[in-house]
Structure 1
Amino acid sequence: MRKFVRSLLAALAVALVGCVTINVYFPEAAAQKAADRFIDTVIEGGQPAPDAAQKPPADARRHPPAAAMLLDLLVPAAHAADVPDIRIQTPATEAIRGRMRARFQNPLKALLDSGAVGFTRDGLVAVRDAAQIPLSQRAQANAAVADENRDRAALYREVAVANGHPEWEAQIRATFARGWIERARAGWYYQDAAGRWQRK
């Protein structure tokens, strides 16, 4: 009889754990909100607001119920999957933000204003019309674009890694790409989904 009870309890435990679906999904809305805050601080030059992920909400600091603690023991990753937030502030991203803000003030904003440079559909910047850049400034403009793209690629990778999901890098990049284009000022160029340049 004891053997039967143990077997039954073991089967129930396996069934309970099997019924818990761990769904690690990309939190698109939270990512877009975080990306938009980052982009605003680069374009507008303001100070970043602290990430919600850095400080847990007041109700999360209270003691969890016993059932939740038991579930965390059985399936430790289940709790993490519910948190619809994304961390974007790390020492590396703050260093990148500082460089991007400085570069935006000079020379990137002038290049965007002139139409020489635009936002690409994949979250980068590109020289759209080199004729808009005086010949004596082209090398500097090309270097600024290359530096900006290097920082953007590092940013997207760092955000994905900081959130424990390096596989999210392409989704982070797409989220930021939408944000850069949505926040482009009137007169700036961007690429549409087909890669054609459009003026805002």
Structure 2
Amino acid sequence: MIKLLRWWSLVMVVGLAACVTINIYFPAAAAEKAADRIIEDVWEQDATTPAAPPPPAEQESAAPPPPSAWSRLLDFLLTPAAAAEPNLDISSPAIERLTASMERRHHQLRPYFQSGAIGLTHDGLVAIREAQGIPLKDRTRVNQLIAAENNDRNALYREIARANGHPEWEAQLRGTFARRWIQKAPPGWWYQNAQGQWVQKR
């Protein structure tokens, strides 16, 4: 009976390690760094750097309890998985070409971001928020710019996933970029929240 319990305990620990490995397989931190680099290149002076979170309050200098045998075993099993988290390659010619195209276009889109006529969507794209804010004579051109921008953004998310050998990461990369576009947008720009409602950034 004791041997059976030990065997089931080992199975549970290995299963937990496998679950954690799956959860960290997509390199979320590396994806945020890659997104920030590309956004800063595309937006240049428009990209803002969010303020660093305040340092955690100092804890009382009580000695931590010694790790249990289970925690030492979990550390042994999970550390290699965490250490294996890859970096993202964003240096392929296709990615550089898409980034350069978006950077050139941004100079034409910037006035409409600033006026609130267009904004950032919750799925990492750009959309018209208030058509009345665009002069009638310019609407066709702005629609063409937005279509080209969204084509490049869709291709960028797909290409980063492909260039890193994981096309299944495309949706996660899109979500990461969607958050970072909004977080790095200047105050006054408009974006969609998770419910699709337009909100002005403060």
TM-score, normalisation: structure 2 = 0.69
Structure 1 runs, 4 residues or longer, greater than 3 Å off: 18-24
Q: Distance in 1 between matches of 2:179 and 2:88?
A: 17
Q: Distance in 1 between matches of 2:131 and 2:156?
A: 26
Among candidates 89, 93, 96, match of residue 94 of structure 1: 96
Of structures 1 and 2, the one with the larger relative CO (CA 8 A, separation 6+) is 2
Deviations 1:4-44 (A, max 9, x none): xxxxxxxxxxxxxx999694610001100110111011111
Letter in 1 for 2:90: I
1:45 is displaced (CA, Å) by 6.3
Letter in 2 for 1:97: T
Among candidates 86, 107, 111, match of residue 84 of structure 1: 86
User: What's the counterpart of residue 106 of structure 2?
Assistant: 104
Q: Distance in 2 between matches of 1:167 and 1:125?
A: 23
1:198 and 2:199 equivalent? Answer: yes
1:128 is displaced (CA, Å) by 0.5
Letter in 2 for 1:32: E
Letter in 2 for 1:144: L
Q: Distance in 2 between matches of 1:83 and 1:128?
A: 38
1:148 and 2:144 equivalent? Answer: no
Deviations 1:24-74 (A, max 9, x none): 61000110011011101111169xxxxxxxxxxxxxxxxxxxxxxxxxxxx
Matches within 5 A, 1:36-47: 36-44=36-44
1:30 and 2:30 equivalent? Answer: yes
Q: Please, which moves more after superposition, 82-91 or 179-188? A: 82-91
Q: Distance in 2 between matches of 1:96 and 1:132?
A: 28
Q: In 2, are the aligned partners of 1:192 and 1:198 still within 8 Å (CA)?
A: yes
Q: In 2, are the aligned partners of 1:36 and 1:179 still within 8 Å (CA)?
A: yes
Q: Distance in 2 between matches of 1:156 and 1:89?
A: 13
Q: Distance in 1 between matches of 2:106 and 2:183?
A: 17
Q: In 2, are the aligned partners of 1:118 and 1:191 still within 8 Å (CA)?
A: yes
Letter in 2 for 1:192: N
Q: In 2, are the aligned partners of 1:45 and 1:101 still within 8 Å (CA)?
A: no
TM-score, normalisation: structure 1 = 0.70
State the superposition RMSD in angstroms. Answer: 2.4
Matches within 5 A, 1:114-129: 114-129=115-130
What runs of 5+ residues in structure 1 fail to find an aligned partner? 1-17, 47-77
| Structure 1 SS opposite 2:185 | coil
Q: Please, which moves more after superposition, 22-31 or 133-142? A: 22-31
1:83 is displaced (CA, Å) by 3.7
Q: Distance in 2 between matches of 1:88 and 1:168?
A: 14
What runs of 5+ residues in structure 2 fail to find an aligned partner? 1-13, 47-79
